[in-house]
């Protein structure tokens, strides 16, 4: 079926008490793996690209790949720009067929974050595209953005931010980090409940790779409606290729890496979809 926006997906998740899995994809094989996993579990799914991914390829190429695979799928598929870092890139994504975008102004001041988010929301909404924003700072490194310390989202600021920007979903900081954790993460899960009481839009969890199933489930129970997974998908794909090379070092055909990479990513995505509670919700 044609690509859909994230709006209904996430609002349905909010009402149903589950979350939609959002998976960062880097190549054709990962696109196929994620959509195949969603189809097998009859789950709605969001595929995401970051600015560095579309710089490596192009916005148009990733949009075309996902669109072709979504047309064949029997479940709802959304293509989302993750951590959009400029108004120009967001416009380019929308024009190329992305059906959801994020503007990440979390590194700016509160007022500047509101300003850039308002601008993106005004433009995107005119084109029927929902917008995700981020308030507070998630630690770790995502793309070329690195945060040395966490600054969890202030619930009162979240209420004001949503009211003034008209944003459709909000990523909040609760102590998660992009990439894998070096130690045991200390999550302020009560912060999710506090923010949920004050805003009437879906909440988004970033930095989920490496979190235990129990932690993710608790975050979803408290109100997270979209859960992002990136690093662990890359690792699953790369480890499958490494294992193949270790067993058969004379391999030279790149397709062989995809043949082992697809099922490795698919298996992981299926596990995460089940943890999010979205299986059977398409």
Task: Report the mean per-residue pLDDT for the chain.
Answer: 93
Active-site option among 82, 104, 150, 168: 82
Report which of 37, 112, 100, 110 is spatially closest to residue 73, judged by C-alpha positions.
Answer: 37
Query: Using a CB cutoff of 8 Å and minimum separation of 24, what contacts does 266-270 make?
Result: 266/33, 266/34, 266/36, 266/37, 266/40, 267/37, 267/236, 268/232, 268/233, 268/236, 269/21, 269/23, 269/33, 269/34, 269/37, 269/38, 269/229, 269/233, 270/37, 270/40, 270/41
Check whether 191 has a pLDDT greater than 70.
yes
pTM: 0.92
Residue 176 banded pLDDT, cuts 50, 70, 90: confident
- For residue 73, pLDDT over 60 is answered with yes
Q: What is the pLDDT of residue 45?
A: 98
The domain ranges of the chain are 6-276
Decide if 82 is catalytic: yes
Distance from C-alpha of 231 to C-alpha of 212, rounded to nearest angstrom? 14
pLDDT at 210: 80
Report the pLDDT value the prediction gives residue 147, as an integer from 0 to 100.
Answer: 47
Which one has a higher pLDDT value, 246 or 179? 246
For domain 6-276, is the CATH number 3.20.20.70?
Answer: yes
CA distance 11 to 24: 21
């Amino acid at each position: 079926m044609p690509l859909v926006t994230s709006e209904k997906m996430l609002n349905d998740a909010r009402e149903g008490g589950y979350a939609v899995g959002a998976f960062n994809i880097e190549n054709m094989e990962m696109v196929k793996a994620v959509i195949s996993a969603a189809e097998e579990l009859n789950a709605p799914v969001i595929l995401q690209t970051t600015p560095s991914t579309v710089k490596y390829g192009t916005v148009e190429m990733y949009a075309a790949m996902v669109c072709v695979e979504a047309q064949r799928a029997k479940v709802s598929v959304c293509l989302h720009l993750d951590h959009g870092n400029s108004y120009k890139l967001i416009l380019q994504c929308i024009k190329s067929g992305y059906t959801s975008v994020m503007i990440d102004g979390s590194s700016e001041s509160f007022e500047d974050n509101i300003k850039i988010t308002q601008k993106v929301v005004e433009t995107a909404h005119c084109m029927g595209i929902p917008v995700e924003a981020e308030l507070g700072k998630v630690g770790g490194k995502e793309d070329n953005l690195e945060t040395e310390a966490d600054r969890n989202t202030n619930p009162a600021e979240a209420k004001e931010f949503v009211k003034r920007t008209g944003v459709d979903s909000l990523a909040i900081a609760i102590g998660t980090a992009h990439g894998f954790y070096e130690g045991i993460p200390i999550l302020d899960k009560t912060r999710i409940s506090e923010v949920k009481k004050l805003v009437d839009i879906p909440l988004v969890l970033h930095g989920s790779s490496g979190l235990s199933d129990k932690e993710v489930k608790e975050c979803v129970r408290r109100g997270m409606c979209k859960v992002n997974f990136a690093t662990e998908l890359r690792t699953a794909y790369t480890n499958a290729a490494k294992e193949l090379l270790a067993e058969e070092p004379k391999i030279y055909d790149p397709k062989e890496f995809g043949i082992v990479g697809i099922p490795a990513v698919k298996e992981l995505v299926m596990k995460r979809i089940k943890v999010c509670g979205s299986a059977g919700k398409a």
